[in-house]
Structures are given as structure tokens and as C-alpha cells.
Structure 1
Amino acid sequence: MATDGKNRNGEVNGVNSVRNSMADNETKVEEGKKVEEEPDHPIDKGWAWVILGSTWFIAFIVIGIAKSYGIFFIEFLKTFKASVSATTLITTLQTVAYCGASVPVLAIYIKRYDTRNLAILATFGCALSYGLSSLADSITFLYFTQSLLFGAMSAGINAPNMIILGKYFKKRRGFAMGIVASGNSLGGFILPYLFRYLFDEYGLRGALLLTSGISLNCVTAACLLRPTEFYSKKKARKPSKTLGVGNECKEQQEKLLGDKDNHIPGVDDSTNISLSQPVLSTEDKTMGKTNFRVRSISYSPGHIDPTSSVSENKGSSSVLSLSSFTRYLSNGDIFSLSLQDMDIMRINSQQEEVKDQTKKPLQGCWRLCRYLTERDIFNCNLFRNKYFLAFVLAHCLGSLAPAFNHIFVPAYARDIGISDQNVATVASVISLADFFGRIVAGTLADVPWIRKTYLVAASQFIVGTMMIFSPVFNNFYLLVVFAVLYGLVGGALFTLFSPIMIEMVGLTNFPNGMLVVLVLQGVWIGGNASFMGYLRDLTDSYIVSLQYMGATSFISAAIFITVEVVRRCTAPTNQKDSV
């Protein structure tokens, strides 16, 4: 009896030592998980600033050329003798191509492949579109080069660049987005003078060919867009020093179950250890390590009757959760699985089968939504967020003025008798003021106590007011005043789009949210481009088109304010400060 007592005491000490060893290892596993949760790529530092510089340069060239389209628009009208509605169709088809190409890019490509290769291909395609446009002999040819080709290639530049920029910046995300957006405006300020000079010296075809050469410089900047997966692969090549982290830990995690009848004095009643295979410490002479052999340890207070029904064993899942704690030993010992655990797993599988049989099969669009969500193609749960839907509506309405202002304002200036050189000056002043306005908007977006939606709503209200009273600005100097005021506030909607979207749906769902906005915005802008061109041909003036854009901006501002007020009123008291 004394010998049995000593043996049992020794076994208890062995169990305690095993528990202590496993507890230490569990702590290391948890520490390892915390380390893994930290991103591998630099955030707000290091190569993130190279990413910012590259995306800024691409925006300066590609978007700057697009913002200078008002100069091209006038030359297209003069060279091809086409109507305003036919020439505006270039913008319509370009928007449709851009949104159509954005669907596979945002839904599939950027989730599975390298965005840098896409950026290189897209920047080269944009340069090619201007090179081919120099061969155009009619406005119809431009529908394929300027509209379809340029629009499709732009989808591989704008949205992926915003996504990779959002990954590299967190605390300074609003500032980074503002800097990149300012590149659009600075390009729109400098390039109109350059294009005016090229048109005067080399004509339309020579200017388009030189524009293609300028765009090729973006290929070099696209090569610097290092994807975040680069750092993950680099870290994976390094040997992991953390114990119990990775696939080896998962392979050695087992359920430790035992027998209730074999109780050891001195051990907690809720823990049962099988005496058929005692816990021993043995020396491995070849490896020089201490090996613990654990045959079966149970953390369950009782047995499950395998003959009982499923309904009688609803608590079996809790028993399994108590007994299924994972432990890691230093040498990868083999653990046994008891019959009791097999019974529990069989009962749980029966419960799952009963639940699956009671579910009603999904039909129609619900089945499609489930398929897209499960395949990680598109997260359809976004449509359950009512604030996201309201944001999409307000953004689409408000995007009409920023999208067409750089086209219709220069054309309006030419209609009222302003010279071509002064028209280029008006377009440049708009872009210069927009340059400073976007930087200010991005900086204010990072201020904690300033709501981004209020900034956007205020900017849309000012834009709407100026567009409604556009007939007042009927000479060059008044148009310069218009250009300054509009430029300071007009770009806030596009500048704060990414920070607001990421804040609303999260960085993971940001591509999905951007996809929804781009598709609906493309339909809205594409349809209104030809409609506003038709209004110009019908009334022989751009004033009605400008006032129409102002009305949509007013509606957008009202929606933004309403959504923000509803959010603050419906939020819990302890969350109103963070909403």
C-alpha cells in the first residue's frame, strides 16, 4: 500500500510537471499569435513613403492628363467638326469601360495576384491609347482608343493604387490620400499649359503622340509599387524561433481524454487520468531530451451514453469543448483518442446533419450572393449596411460636378468669348486651387474631432451653390474667382472617399465597397455625360448643364448630413464620441 501511494504520488507529480510544461508552451503560442497579427510590411514608415511617391507620380501624369481633357475636348470639336453630344460620348464610353474593367480587377485580380504587374500593364496601356489616338481620322476612332482602351487600362491604376496605399498607411491614411489626390490637381494645373503649347506647335496628332511618350514614364513608377506579400514571403524564409507556432503546433494538437473510474488522490475531481498508461518521464539517449508519454487525460466530469438520442445529448458539445484543450510537448509525442471522444464527435455530427436538413434551400439571387461570398469573390453582406448604401447614393450624386467640371467650364469659357490661352489659364487655376484644397481636406480628415462626412457635405453645398449661380461668372476675371473657390472645395468628395469607405466597411471589404461605388457611379456618370451634352445642343448654352450638376450636389449634401445625424442619434450613448 505504501508503494502504491508512492507510485500514485509520483504520477501526480508527473502530471503536474506536464501541466506546467504545457502551460508554458501555451503562453508562448499566444505570444506567437500576437506577433503574427502584426503586419509584416512597414506602415506609415519606410517603403510606405516610396509607395506614396510612386502613386503620386502616376496620379500626376495619368489623372492630370484626364483633368486636362477640357483642352483636348475643344481640339476634338475643332478638328473633327462633331457635335457636343457626339464628342461627349467619348467620356460616356470611357466611364463605362472603366467601370466594366473594375469588376474583375477588384473582385478577383487584386485578391489573388500581384497588383504591381497590373499597374505596369495598365500604365503602358494608357500610353498606348494616346499613341493610337494620334492616328484617328474621325471621332468614331476615338471611341475605341480614348474611350474603351484608356478607360479599361485606367481601372488597373486608380483603384489598386488606392488599395495598396491604404495597406501601407494607417494613422496618416487621410494625409496620404490627400497627397495622392493633390497629384491629380497639380497635373491638371501644369499640363494644360503644356498641351496648349503642344497643340500650337505640333497640332492635335503630334500632341497626342507626345502625350503617349509622357505617359510611358509612369511604367517606371509602377515598378516601385512593392506588394505587401513581398514582406510575408521574406519573413517566411526566416526560421521561426517561437515555440509552438505554425503548422508543427497544429499537427501536434490532440484531444486529451481519459477514464472516470481511475481517480488519483490529490488531483482535482474534474480531471481523470487513466492508470493503464501512467505519465512517466523517460530519457531519450539519442536525442538528449526528456520525453513525456501521455496516453489519455480527460477533462470531462462524466461519460456520454452512446445509446442516447441526439436531443438528450445537447450538452455534449460543451463537454467536448472542455476536454478539447490543446497542448504542445517538446518532442511531438503521440496522443490517444478515447472511445468517449469518438461518441461525442459522432453525436455532434448527427446534430449538424439534423440542422442541415431543417435549412431551407436558397433560391435565386440569394444563392448567387452566398456563392460569391463563400468563394471570396464579393462580400454581399455589404448590402445589409444601410449607411453604406446611403453613402453610395450620396457619392454618386455628388460625383457629377467633379467629374465634368474640368470639361464643361473650359468649354463654357470659350462659349462666352474667352481666348484659348485664357481658357487654359482658367483650367489651370482650378487645378492649382484643387491641389491645395485636397491637401487641406486630407489633413483635416486625420483630426479626430472633425467628422469626414461633414467636410464632404459642406464642400458639396458650396459646389452646388456656385454651379447654380454660374451665369454670374460671365467674364475672365469672374471665372478666375469661380476657379479658385471651386478648386478649394470641389475635390473633397474624391479625396475623402477612401478614408470614409475604409472607416465604414473596413480595409478587408474596401475593394468590394469600391467595386459597388465604381459600377453605380459609372452608370450614373456615363448616362449623364451624353444627357448634359444633349442639353448643351438643345439650349445652345452650358449654363443648364452646370446648374443640373449643382442640383445633384445639393441633394448629395442633404443625404450626407441626414446620414450623419441619424448615425449619431441611433448610436449608443457610450459610442457617440466614436461615431
Structure 2
Amino acid sequence: MPCRMRKVDAKTPEVDVANQPETEVRPPDGGWGWVVCLACFLTNCTVPGTTSINGILLIELLKLFNESFSKTTIVFSIIAGAIMFGGPLVSVALMFKASHRQIMMVGGIVAAASAVASSFAPNVETLIFTYGILVGFSLAVNYFSVTVTLGQYFLKKRVLALGIAISGKGFGTFMLNYLSTKITSFYGIRGTFLLLGGLFLNLTVYGALCRPLKPVIKQSPNISHNERTSVDEMEGTANIGFETEGENQETKDEKCGDSNRRISEDTKPLPKTLRARKSITSEIVPSEIYKRESIYCNTTFKNKYFYLLLAIYTTYSVGESFYIYIPLYAVSVGLSEEESSLIMAIYGIIGIVSLLLIGFLVDIIHIPTSYILMMSLFITSLGSLLIPFCQSFGTLVSCAAMNSIGTNFGISLRIVLISAILGTDNMTAAYSILSTLIGILYIIYPTLKGFVYEATQQLSVVFYFDSAILFLGAVLSCGIVYAQKTEKFVE
């Protein structure tokens, strides 16, 4: 079928898209997107904020069940790891035509019921199932879905919106750690699980706020001149932030395109400045051509820098169990449980500042994200290295602040770097892979360090281990810096 406004060469294969009209969903970069940003902020208050009090809950469970340290730690290593398994779970649910909104609402209800059931757990084994597995996976689908939904609502302001939303983690860490010692001392650990169930029920409300975006443009073979102009303008809007070499005055023939020429060009290396652009403009390409282009690109599994990013976050994940061991270490050097919870509350405040700061550094000052990634790994490694030398409240707060800055910078950059390296079309699949890997490591690292502590009876060895792994990640991040400097990927 010929495309209106141009002549088609007789040798050009026709692409029938009459039965499969193309639509485009434009990120509004505002509007209801800020409501979704608020929902993401509150979800981050609840989900990562809850895991930040695992160290306080660990001390209480050791008193209640009198089990070994390594066995009790499994409860919290599983919930921390399960939260990162949201990608595969959400992908399966989406296959059955569920929306992110529905997934989040159901997840909130299941998490609340599981937390209530945890309050009646007679032993650690039961808690591993009710709190570690059921609550963990329920929170996972909320945490993953709300982040992806927010990423779909923003393009130019994505880093700023994600920085604001993820800063909820710092706010939740501050509030829950400030209240956790008082709650556990007054209501006990079982009453604390009941209160957490009520907190998780709010996730249903946050999920209801995440309305799915509606398509605003319908691609048709019988497209009018005005509609073609609208599509052209949309293509220009999608390309903001990316250079377009040799496209200043494209003719209408070139915009409709010859499918043979387009497919053959896909087999050739793209110009550096067009690699990120390709995935963004793919929505306005006829579906059959786009499918064949996707096969040639295959950026998720053939991009070597994605594998390097996976290796870097493999090392980054070791620092995430910091909040499990720092309260125990504070008590071991003579500080009270109230002071240890206050350290974690300050950790949360610093997290708020750092998550807002990264949006300023990237969007306003335009510091390359790869540089920030490398810097954050060095800072976190240094903070972990210095902890065994800290014997007072002030010095521990300083090291906790360093760890908070480095960790929260790294968390903010996950989806940003994936989007820059692979493009927005591959964002969900790639983020799902990264989240799954991190989830596995969140289970392995705390459990492994629990056995190390029981074998040595020295928490300092645990922090030295963290520092060495994080330093390795800082070295690996030099590869991402090189890639961005040589324009292997463009933000």
C-alpha cells in the first residue's frame, strides 16, 4: 500500500499496517506525572524505608527467638533480595494483560496480609516465609512497577523526577528508624509487624494513582498532511537531547522511507550520536520494519556496556546490607539502641539530600552520569573502610553519611544509565534483568557476611569485605566513563 504524500518505487516492498495502526505515547514531562512522582515518593518511603529498619528488627528477633545470627539474618536478606525480583514477576503479570496499576494495588493488599500473619509467627522459619518471601515479593512488584511508570511519564525531566521520587527512601529511612526503637519497645516486635501491615496497605492507594498513559497519535497509511506534520513534530520532540547528523532537511520520501534501504542500513554500524536516538523514534516506524530493526539492534543482549554495568552493580550490591550491620556494630562499641536508630535516621536525612542533589548535578550542571557513578563507588568504599576505626557516635554518623551519599547516587543512576546505554524501548527489559541480579546478590551478600561474622566474631571483617568489593566496582566503572567520553552512548 503506497504511503500518501510520496511516490513509491515499483521495487519497494509494501508494508501493510492497515490492520495494525501505530500509536505513540508521549511522556508529558509534567501534569499527572507529578502525581505519579508523589506516588513513587511515598512508595519509596514505604518499601526501601521498611528494609532500612531491618537492623533494628534483627536485634529484637535475636532476643525473641534466641536463634543464631546467620539464621535470623536470612529473614532480612530474603526480603531485601525479593524486593529486587519485581521485574520478572511484573513481566509475567503483564503477559496476562494486567496493568502496572492493578499489579501495585494487589501487591499492597498481599503485603499487608502477610505482615499481619508475621506477627503470629512462632519461629524464624515461619518468618522467612511470611515476612521474607511473601512480603518481599509483594513489595517487589510495587517498587518495580511504580519506578517504570514514572520513567514513562518523563523524558527531559526524568533524572529530576526520579531523584525526587527516590528521595522518599531517605525520608522513609529517617522516619521509620526514628520511630522504630520507640515502637518496638512499646508494642514489641509482634505489634511492630501489625503496624507494618497497616503501612503496607497504603501501597494500594499509591498504586491507584498510577494511571497508565494513553496513546495520543494513531499511525495510519492514509495520513493527512496535517497529521504528517504532527508526526514530524513529534519525532523532533522525541529527539531532544540527541544530535541528528545529516537530517536537517529530510524530504517526505525519506521520512516515509524505503523499507529495503532501512533494513540494509540496520546492518551497518550507526553513527555514535544516533544510537540512543534510534530507540526513541522507533514508535513512529511501521510495525513490520520496526520488528526487523529490533532483531538487528538487539541492544539488550549484545551491548557490551550493559554487561559491564551488570558487573558494576554486582559489586555495588554489597554495600546495600550496610543498614543491617551498622546498628549491631553501634551497640557493640557501647552505644545505646536509641543512638543506633538515630544514626540510621541521619543516614536517611543524608539520603534525601543526596537524591535531590544528583538531579541538580545531572540536569542543571550536566555532570556526566558515569563520573558520578565512579565517584559514588569510591565514596562508599572509603566509608566502609573507616567504620572499624569509629568508636563514637559522631564518627559513625560521618561514615554513615558517606555510605548514604554513595549508595543513593548509585540507586538513582540505575535506570538512568540503562536508558542512556540501551534506549527507552529496552528500559523495562534491561531494568528487569538488572533488578533480578541485584535481588540474588541481596540474598547472598547478607547471608554470606552473617557466616563470616559468626566465624570471626568481628564485625570489622564484614566492613573490610564491603570496602574491597566496592573498590573493585569503582575500578570497573572506569569502563563506563570511557564509553561515555568516547560517545559509545549519549545521555
Scaled by the length of structure 1, the TM-score of the pair is 0.66
* Partner AA of 2:115 in structure 1: Y
Q: 1:142 aligns with which of 97, 103, 127?
A: 127
Shift of 1:145: 1.0
Partner of 2:425, secondary structure, is coil
* Partner AA of 1:465 in structure 2: L
CA 1:25 to 1:113, structure 2 compared with 1: closer, same or farther past 3 Å? Answer: farther
CA 1:505 to 1:540, structure 2 compared with 1: closer, same or farther past 3 Å? Answer: same
Query: Which whole-Å CA distance do the structure 1 matches of 2:174 and 2:84 have between them?
Result: 26
Query: Which whole-Å CA distance do the structure 1 matches of 2:305 and 2:446 have between them?
Result: 28
1:161 corresponds to 2:79 = no
Query: Which whole-Å CA distance do the structure 1 matches of 2:133 and 2:221 have between them?
Result: 55
**Matching of residues 393-542 of structure 1 within 5 Å:** 393-401=311-319, 403-447=320-364, 449-542=366-459
Q: Which has the higher helix share?
A: 2
Query: Which whole-Å CA distance do the structure 1 matches of 2:410 and 2:154 have between them?
Result: 20
Q: 2:178 aligns with which of 184, 193, 198?
A: 193
Query: Which whole-Å CA distance do the structure 2 matches of 1:68 and 1:57 have between them?
Result: 17
- What is aligned with 1:177? 162
CA 1:23 to 1:224, structure 2 compared with 1: closer, same or farther past 3 Å? Answer: closer
* Partner AA of 1:143 in structure 2: I
Contact 2:49/2:172 (CA < 8 Å) preserved in 1? yes
Contact 2:27/2:152 (CA < 8 Å) preserved in 1? no
* Partner AA of 2:480 in structure 1: V
Shift of 1:92: 3.3
CA 1:211 to 1:492, structure 2 compared with 1: closer, same or farther past 3 Å? Answer: same
**Matching of residues 82-481 of structure 1 within 5 Å:** 82-95=67-80, 97-98=82-83, 102-106=87-91, 109=94, 112-228=97-213, 231-232=214-215, 244-245=222-223, 381-401=299-319, 403-447=320-364, 449-481=366-398
- What is aligned with 2:476? 559
Describe the superposition over 1:9-45 as per-residue Cα deviations: whole angstroms up to 9, x where unpaired.
Answer: xxxxxxxxxx9xx75999xxxxxx9xx9885455112
Scaled by the length of structure 2, the TM-score of the pair is 0.77
Partner of 1:155, secondary structure, is helix
Query: Which whole-Å CA distance do the structure 2 matches of 1:164 and 1:214 have between them?
Result: 22
Query: Which whole-Å CA distance do the structure 2 matches of 1:129 and 1:57 have between them?
Result: 20
Shift of 1:102: 3.2
CA 1:501 to 1:79, structure 2 compared with 1: closer, same or farther past 3 Å? Answer: same
* Partner AA of 1:161 in structure 2: V
Query: Which whole-Å CA distance do the structure 2 matches of 1:400 and 1:443 have between them?
Result: 27
Query: Which whole-Å CA distance do the structure 1 matches of 2:26 and 2:482 have between them?
Result: 37
**Matching of residues 29-68 of structure 1 within 5 Å:** 39-40=24-25, 43-68=28-53
Shift of 1:188: 0.3
1:81 corresponds to 2:66 = yes
CA 1:567 to 1:180, structure 2 compared with 1: closer, same or farther past 3 Å? Answer: closer
Greater Cα shift, 548-557 or 93-102: 93-102
- What is aligned with 2:54? 69
Aligned residues: 415
* Partner AA of 2:222 in structure 1: G
Contact 2:168/2:352 (CA < 8 Å) preserved in 1? yes
Query: Which whole-Å CA distance do the structure 2 matches of 1:95 and 1:479 have between them?
Result: 23
Describe the superposition over 1:83-110 as per-residue Cα deviations: whole angstroms up to 9, x where unpaired.
Answer: 1110111133335544555324236627
Q: Mark the structure with the bigger radius of gyration.
A: 1
How large is the Cα RMSD of the aligned pairs? 3.3
CA 1:41 to 1:123, structure 2 compared with 1: closer, same or farther past 3 Å? Answer: farther
Shift of 1:58: 1.5
Shift of 1:563: 3.0
CA 1:184 to 1:101, structure 2 compared with 1: closer, same or farther past 3 Å? Answer: closer
Describe the superposition over 1:422-462 as per-residue Cα deviations: whole angstroms up to 9, x where unpaired.
Answer: 11111101111111011101222224741101101101101
Contact 1:54/1:222 (CA < 8 Å) preserved in 2? yes
Query: Which whole-Å CA distance do the structure 1 matches of 2:468 and 2:93 have between them?
Result: 36
Give the unaligned 5+ runs of structure 1.
Answer: 1-18, 27-32, 250-321, 327-347, 349-372
Query: Which whole-Å CA distance do the structure 1 matches of 2:5 and 2:431 have between them?
Result: 45
Query: Which whole-Å CA distance do the structure 2 matches of 1:64 and 1:436 have between them?
Result: 15
Contact 1:107/1:515 (CA < 8 Å) preserved in 2? no
Query: Which whole-Å CA distance do the structure 2 matches of 1:107 and 1:121 have between them?
Result: 14
